[in-house]
Copies of this chain bind each other. A is one copy, B any other.
Amino acid sequence: MNFSSKNIENAVNAFASLPGIGKKTALRLVLHLVDQDPGATQEFAETLLTMRQNIKSCQRCHNLSDQNLCSICQTPKRDQKIICLVEGIRDVMAIEDTAHYYGLYHVLGGVISPIEGIGPEQLNIDSLIQRIETEGIQEIIMAISPTIEGDTTIFYISKLLQHKGVSISTIARGVSFGGELEYADGITLGRSIAARNPYNVQGD
């Protein structure tokens, strides 16, 4: 691309360094900022700077937070005896969006993956065990991706927690609600038959 201005070129390259933004999209965003008042760019830049300077990791659950404890950990109404163990902060948001869970979280920061060089010591496992020992946690729900790495991580952590007096569960796996069986992938469908649940006729 031919830019008549070095400033435009730098700004396009800055946007294009973000994931999923190509040069053409970056140019569209830059020209949008040029079309607006300088104040709009100022506000945009300042919002990002304020965010990056003030964002913290929750000292208890490692969720993103504005304070030392995140807003979930600070809510006394939530069930303080259950921890939902997730890989990342995106999973916290996804589960919060369902409005089906009212306990606490613990963000692992990834899964054990020898290929990517991620071992247990790089994950927030020590702080999880400490929480279980000090906070009187009764249940751990493992909401980890159903992949080989995820299953390895679940197995590893379950072994560590074996004699800690907490019950361990994993989220249900099977065919999606609203999906049609013929489009479900073979492994999911096969396992959902193997892991079938007894059906209770309502009213019994």
The interface of chain A, by Cβ under 8 A from chain B, is 1-8, 10-11, 13-14, 17-21, 25, 27-34, 38, 41-55, 58, 63-66, 70-72, 89-90, 92-93, 96-97
Q: Which of B6, B38, B50, B71 contacts A52 (CB 8 A)?
A: B38
Question: Cβ of B48 and Cβ of A11 under 8 Å apart?
Answer: yes
Q: Which of B14, B89, B96 contacts A47 (CB 8 A)?
A: B14
- With both beta carbons as reference points, the residue of chain B lying nearest to A70 in the complex is identified as B4
The 11 sampled A-B contact pairs (Cβ below 8 Å) are A2-B97, A3-B93, A4-B96, A5-B70, A6-B66, A10-B47, A19-B28, A34-B51, A38-B53, A44-B48, A45-B49
Chain B residues lying within 8 Å of A6, measured Cβ to Cβ, are 66
- With both beta carbons as reference points, the residue of chain B lying nearest to A21 in the complex is identified as B29
Copies held by the complex = 2
Q: Say whether, besides A47-B14, A52-B33, A5 and B41 are in contact (CB < 8 Å).
A: no
The prevalent SS among residues of A at the interface is: helix
Could you tell me the distance in whole angstroms from the C-beta of A192 to the nearest C-beta in chain B?
A: 28
Rounded to whole angstroms, the CA-CA distance of A72 and B96 in the bound complex is: 54
- With both beta carbons as reference points, the residue of chain B lying nearest to A32 in the complex is identified as B19
Chain B residues lying within 8 Å of A54, measured Cβ to Cβ, are 7
Rounded to whole angstroms, the CA-CA distance of A44 and B41 in the bound complex is: 12
Rounded to whole angstroms, the CA-CA distance of A110 and B92 in the bound complex is: 46
